[in-house]
């Protein structure tokens, strides 16, 4: 899990913007939140997955310099679960933004 988050460049982004201790905590929390969202979606708990994917998107929006390609990936993840819940009209603008 941490390996894929590290591939985002998230660790470097957080370290550049915060103290190392806080960055590690933020990285761990974001990784855990993302993993919970994926687990919920894979289990078919789409309402919970939507809530968690929204939280991930909100958190990365607060991180200055977060890689745009990974922001797009997380918007796409949220759009995917919205589509699964029959909320395609809400998903389309997220995909366009991504």
What is the chain's pLDDT, residue by residue, as a tens digit (98 residues)?
444 444 444 444 444 444 445 666 777 899 899 999 999 999 999 999 999 999 999 999 988 888 999 999 999 999 999 999 999 999 999 999 99
Give the model's pLDDT for residue 1.
Answer: 40
Domains plus CATH for the chain?
Answer: 2-97 (1.25.40.10)
Residues 6 or more apart whose CB falls under 8 angstroms from that of 36 comprise 52
- Joined together, the tokens standing for residue 44 give 């078919």
pTM of the model: 0.75
Give the model's pLDDT for residue 24.
Answer: 67
């Amino acid at each position: 899990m941490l390996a894929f988050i590290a591939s985002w460049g998230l660790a470097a982004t957080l370290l550049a913007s915060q103290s190392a201790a806080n960055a590690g905590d933020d990285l761990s929390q974001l990784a855990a939140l993302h993993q919970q969202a994926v687990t919920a979606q894979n289990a078919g708990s789409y309402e919970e997955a939507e809530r968690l994917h929204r939280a991930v998107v909100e958190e990365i929006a607060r991180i200055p310099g977060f890689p745009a390609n990974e922001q797009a990936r997380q918007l796409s993840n949220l759009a995917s679960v919205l589509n699964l819940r029959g909320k395609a009209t809400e998903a389309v603008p997220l995909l366009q933004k991504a």
